[in-house]
Amino acid sequence: MSISVAVMEVASRCNINCSYWYMYNHGDLSYLKQPKLMTIETAKLIIHRVKQHCALNAVDEFHFVFHGGEPLMQKKEFYRIFCKLAREQLEPSVSPIFSLQTNGILLSGEWVDILTHCELALE
């Protein structure tokens, strides 16, 4: 089976408290034992595994979806580094595609510049 999408929790916390969110409001406290943010070291491992998978399965396009919590709580530099590393490691044989799911509250001009430079699609 060939996989071409990875949904990655890059921030385990959120900046708002939606009443329906199971982590804060329905007794699931597992987030307290999770790292708040994905590290660059973890990102490097993910990219490496994606590269291996794509080579073994003839995948020529791979979609990275940054998710959370709220992914805009992740450091801006994380996205610059992740996108750069993914391109360096995967291209030209695999085209990386990046998107980010967000509630949009933290979106700013600086974020738009970063996301545009990384060619990230907002969801």
CATH code (residue 83): 3.20.20.70
In whole angstroms, give the CA distance from residue 41 to residue 58.
26
pLDDT of 61: 97
Taking residues 46-72, report their average pLDDT: 96
- Domain range for 42: 5-122
pLDDT of 22: 61
Considering its fold, how many domains does the chain have in total? 1
Question: Helices 109-117 and 76-90, interaxial angle, to 10°?
Answer: 10
Mean model confidence pLDDT for the chain: 91
Instruction: Using the predicted structure, report yes or no on whether residue 25 has a pLDDT greater than 70.
Output: no
- Give the pTM: 0.89
What is residue 118's three-state secondary structure? coil
Work out the percent of the chain whose per-residue pLDDT is above 70.
Answer: 93
